[in-house]
Structure 1
Amino acid sequence: MRNRVAKAIENKAAEDEKLYLISGDAGLGVWEGFKETYPERFLNPGVNEACDVGMASGLALRGYKVVYYNIAPFVIMRPYEQVRNDVCYQELPVIMVGTGSGITYAPAGMTHYVIEDIALAKTMPNLNIFSPCDPIEADAAFAYAYAADTPTYIRIPKNGEPELHKSTNIDITKPHVLREGKDALIIFHGSIVDAVLPACDTLSEKGIEVCAVSNPMVSNISDELAELINKYDSVYVAEEHYEYGGLGTIITDYCNEKGIFKKINKIALKNEYIHKVGNRDYLREHYGISIDKIVKFICSKVEK
């Protein structure tokens, strides 16, 4: 997916000579085309994230459109103060793209996991947050961010994700049903899609039909998603993020505010540090968000 986003950024740079790209010494093999074509608009200040975001803000203040790219932990978490004060407080059109969302970088360890970024990002009231599950959603997220002229954070995995949508013409602010089902509803975002959809297939074999819905604009709970939630008695939110502060929390808060009295079952990482070492499949299984664990959890809740 990161290559798809990189191509979208490069294409937009061809249209807009005021687009600048700042890389925090990341993206080896991703930005060579951009650097060769637009060398004067590619900046790499190195491993200096606070400076990176400050430079992006300065350029935006001068009227430039800026994309800041880095691995996800170093986009929101490390330069949080600069994102808050330099970008969001001043309402600058900086697009921050973080690659390696969730535990994508397993087994690199906690320093490279980004499982609390949505909780942090959601505290900034004007920051649009996107977590696309496929390249089509990633394209739409970048297009929306570029046109919106507001601070934006896009978190993406990097495992060669396939296209899942039948059409490239999607509204990135709305939920998208990727699988129909009448017995339960599972809402998700981002990289967990490759566990959710296979889990739904397995549940179908067991006689449980689950409606799987991608909600890529994590910062926005639309009326359409509320309507979907109201249709089901058994509702789940799956994400490769801590259970506190993620999409599950955002949806629960929204339902409470709107008087939608549904139990939102969270399928997410428990609020504890990851000390286990292993690849992503191993960690998902150990921490309860693997295909098998999703199937078992929903089976335990749905009466058939």
Structure 2
Amino acid sequence: MRAAFSAALVEAATRDERVVLLTGDHGYALFDEFRKRCPDQYINAGIAEQNMVGVAAGLAKAGFRPIVYGLSAFVPVRVVEQIKIDVCYEKLPVIFTGDGAGLVYSTLGTSHQSFEDIACLRSVPYIDIMSPCDAHELTACMSTALTLQSPVYMRMGKADLGSVHAKAPSLARGELACVQRGQSRVQFIATGSMVKTACTLGAELDVSVWSAPWIKPLDAGQLGALAASSSAFVTLEEHSAAGGLGAAVLEAISEANPVPVLRIGVGERFSETCGSHAHAMREHGLDLASVRARVEPFVDKWTMSDAC
């Protein structure tokens, strides 16, 4: 996914000299090709993320298309105020990219883990939130982000779990992508790294799987129609269960077609032990076995309710 991100940056900057990349002293190897091809469009703002957002806002007001890169624990979490006031208040076309979202920086502890970034931004007006599940969705998200004349935040997980799609999906803004069809009237809606887990369980339980490359906006019409033909939803995300995809889905369907929603995500806790990404996922109950233990009885319950 990060290779696709690097390629998308180079392609955008070589096509449009207004594209400027700003980094908070991160991503050196990732940007080797960019610095070689577009040296005058690269700014290392140093470990000064708040200032970097202000610089990006100024560049946007001057007609540039800034792309701000950082670890998601810092962009957006450290700079929510600057994103709100400097960028979103004036609806400036700045793209924020948060790398290492979720629990990927497991060994670095709570300071570098990021499972609140979506929640931090969902209530800020005028900003889109994207969460691609693989390189193909990332390419599609970047392409769309560059056409928008408004702020965008795109979160990326650093762990490359392989492709979900065969090619970049063609999606309208806010639309879900169906990646797997099943016969059950329970639907899985997943985002980012958890789409792979959803696909595995969907195949086992004969459940359709939808990927959510957008968290904000969500296509309320599509979700409402899906809810009208479903008995229940399961949402899966490498993010807090509070304020993330699951909460957005609940809000979108609550008035029109409410159905039960099981939200799989990080609970009300921080990491307490140190280990690999897989270890952190197990600790927070996001590994395949833990998710299966929660999802199977829920799917069985709402499948049986249909039969009755």
TM-score normalised by structure 1 residue count: 0.94
What SS does the aligned partner of 1:148 have?
A: coil
**1:185 aligned partner, one-letter code:** Q
- Confirm or deny: 8 A CA contact 1:188 1:214 kept in the other structure: yes
Matched with 2:134 is: 134
Map of 1:190 onto structure 2: 192
Deviations 1:128-179 (A, max 9, x none): 0000001111011111110011100000112234222233241153111111
Q: Which amino acid aligns with 1:295?
A: R
* Corresponding residue number in structure 1 for 2:165: 165
Partner of 1:42: 42
Post-superposition offset of 1:231: 1.9
May I ask how many residue pairs the two structures share in their alignment? Answer: 298
Distance 1:34 1:302, change over 3 A: closer
Runs of 4 or more consecutive aligned structure 1 residues displaced over 3 Å after TM superposition: none
Give 1:302's aligned residue. 299
Structure 1 residue corresponding to 2:268, chosen from 267, 271, 277: 271
Which of the numbers 195, 210, 215 marks the counterpart of 1:213? Answer: 210
RMSD in angstroms over aligned alpha carbons?
Answer: 1.4
Residues 189 and 216, structure 1, Cα contact 8 Å, conserved in 2: yes
1:32–1:172 CA distance, 2 compared to 1 (3 A): farther
Does the residue aligned with 2:239 lie in a helix, a strand or coil? Answer: strand
| Maintained 8 Å contact 2:129/2:214 | yes
Task: Using the TM superposition, give the Cα deviation of residue 210 of structure 1 relative to its aligned residue in structure 2, in angstroms.
Answer: 1.3
Could you tell me which amino acid in structure 2 is paired with residue 291 of structure 1?
Answer: L
The alignment partner of 1:235 has SS state of strand
Structure 1: which 5+ residue stretches go unaligned?
A: none
Residue matched to 1:96: 96
Q: Distance in 2 between matches of 1:61 and 1:302?
A: 50
Paired residues of 1:165 and 1:178 also in contact (CA < 8 A): yes
Q: What is the aligned partner in structure 2 of residue 289 from structure 1? A: 286
Q: Does 2:143 correspond to 1:146?
A: no
Q: How do 1:1-150 and structure 2 match up within 5 A? A: 1-150=1-150
Paired with 1:302 and 1:168, the residues of 2 have a C-alpha distance of: 30
Q: Percent identity?
A: 28
In structure 1, what is the Cα distance between the partners aligned to 2:299 and 2:147?
42
2:180 partner letter? R
Secondary structure, aligned partner of 1:282: helix
Extract unaligned runs of 5+ from structure 2.
none
Indicate conservation of the 8 Å contact 1:145/1:152, yes or no.
yes
Structure 2 counterpart SS, 1:159 = coil
- CA contact 1:177–1:212 (8 Å) conserved in 2: yes
Compared with structure 1, are the counterparts of its residues 262 and 55 closer, same or farther at alpha carbon in structure 2 (3 Å cutoff)? Answer: same
3-state DSSP of counterpart to 1:147 = coil
Greater mean deviation of Cα atoms: 59-68 or 34-43: 34-43
- Bigger CA drift: 104-113 or 91-100? 104-113
